Amino acid sequence: MIRKVLIANRGEIAIRIIRACREMGILTVAVYSEADREALHTKLADEAVCIGPAAAKDSYLNMEQIISATMITGADAIHPGFGFLSENSRFAKLCETCHITFIGPDSDSIARLGNKAMARQTMIDAGVPVIEGCEKPLTDAKEALEIAKEIGFPVIVKAVSGGGGKGMRVACTEEEFEQAFLVAQKESLQAFSDENMYLEHFVENPRHIEFQILADHYGNVVHLGERDCSVQRNHQKVIEESPSAAVDEELREKMGKAAVLAAKAAGYKNAGTIEFLLDKEKNFYFMEMNTRIQVEHPVTEWVTGIDLIKAQIRIADGEKLKWKQEDIRISGHAIECRINAENPSENFRPCPGKIQDMYLPGGKGVRIDSAIYSGCEVSPYYDSMIAKLIVFAASRKEAIEKMHRALGEVIIEGIQTNIDFLYEIMERPDYQKGNFTIEYLEKVLEEMGENKQ
């Protein structure tokens, strides 16, 4: 039985996990860096252990320190949150070796799905649709060019160890290919120490649709519907919603079945997300599987009524899933906006600093997940996301109206944020109609730039 959980993370997700544990009667241990002595997660947990200097590599990424903190406090499980060590198979393995319950999938699943070429092959074997391409790892640009010609241009070069957009380049023609391959490969070598690349045909103007799944240790898998994460910039999601305006009941059932098949083929356990691209003709293709709880999980929680963090803990503790697929009902509409400490008029440059004063919105159908408080410091060392504003209403239209209202109430003084930018998007007819793909924000920003000149 899990009695005490160490949270190997910071910020709003650490708070989210502390809240779930407290409601379940589970004790919590926070770990914090020297920069986070006054952070909310440090104050709110039952115990807190300092694990090192501000730089993430010395603290939140320091496996030995985190395992030591777990041992010293007698915690029996670690929740990794997202980012940091959440998708590090060596860390999950270390937990397994030390008989600490890692609240997530086993280290083998993380390793297998982290290798994007292997993940692709697993999906092909299972009959999950993938984009035409070549999962054979390639290191030589000349050899890759021959395969690219067979696939047909445009082609996208992806790092086998990549994900989330790192180590990726598009080549529109044969002439561009070698350069694109070498740049992507160099990036991959630097970021992941891996020169292995793979190729896919490049799908133009798709939507990013991802499915949440839950899988227990006894082979039961359910999907909790989709999230539309197309509104993003530089591979950073900005607005997410569930359900997607582009997915009807029939498509949801088809994609959901594929997502469950994907999880089963990977022998997956715990909460996971299957990313798909959805093209204009409503063809969908497997991209990658994320083996962590995601930032945008609250929109799924709201349309399904399921607490995903509690579900993760129960699964890790060996409980059977409480739901069969037919028990899962999607109702209403939820939208999440990521509030970042950044300046939109300076190309979204991060803007850390002290929050002098603040007021966050409330009312029916409004949820804030955040770790900020009046007088707190937003550190330059970590991610600039300072709050998530999530709304729920019966329809998409009402959810947008509610988000617009709630964004209008936010007061954050002392630092720059993207709140006004988000507020403007809620007012756009194209957004309101659900008319967007992954290129949407780029076009919006171009338009906004033109209007200023």
So which residues are the catalytic ones? 292
Least CB distance to ligand MV4 at residue 287 (A): 5
Residue 259 near residue 210, CB atoms below 8 Å = no
Least CB distance to ligand MV4 at residue 129 (A): 12
Measured CA to CA, the distance from residue 224 to residue 328 in angstroms comes to 7
Measured CA to CA, the distance from residue 349 to residue 4 in angstroms comes to 39
Rank residues 232 and 312 by Cβ distance to ligand MV4 and give the closer one: 232
Rank residues 222 and 258 by Cβ distance to ligand MV4 and give the closer one: 258
Strands (E), 101-220: 101-102, 133-138, 155-163, 166-171, 197-201, 207-215
Measured CA to CA, the distance from residue 109 to residue 62 in angstroms comes to 22
Least CB distance to ligand MV4 at residue 238 (A): 11
Measured CA to CA, the distance from residue 243 to residue 164 in angstroms comes to 22
Rank residues 2 and 438 by Cβ distance to ligand MV4 and give the closer one: 438
Measured CA to CA, the distance from residue 230 to residue 239 in angstroms comes to 8
Rank residues 259 and 287 by Cβ distance to ligand MV4 and give the closer one: 287
Least CB distance to ligand MV4 at residue 285 (A): 7
Rank residues 280 and 354 by Cβ distance to ligand MV4 and give the closer one: 280
Q: Are strands 77-79 and 4-7 parallel, antiparallel or unpaired?
A: parallel
The residue among 360, 305, 333, 313 whose CA lies nearest residue 104 is: 313
Amino acid found at 413? E
List interacting residues with ligand MV4 (CB under 6 A).
131, 156, 164-165, 200-203, 208, 232, 235, 275, 277, 287-288, 438
The residue behind tokens 């990658």 is: 288
CA atoms within 13 A on the CB side of 321: 23
Measured CA to CA, the distance from residue 45 to residue 72 in angstroms comes to 16
The residue behind tokens 């940091």 is: 84
Rank residues 131 and 378 by Cβ distance to ligand MV4 and give the closer one: 131
Token output for 109 = 């699943």
Residue 272 near residue 291, CB atoms below 8 Å = yes
Measured CA to CA, the distance from residue 190 to residue 226 in angstroms comes to 33
Least CB distance to ligand MV4 at residue 188 (A): 13
Measured CA to CA, the distance from residue 239 to residue 361 in angstroms comes to 18
Least CB distance to ligand MV4 at residue 436 (A): 11
Rank residues 158 and 269 by Cβ distance to ligand MV4 and give the closer one: 158
Least CB distance to ligand MV4 at residue 112 (A): 17
3-state DSSP: the chain helix, strand, coil percent, rounded to 5?
A: 40, 30, 35
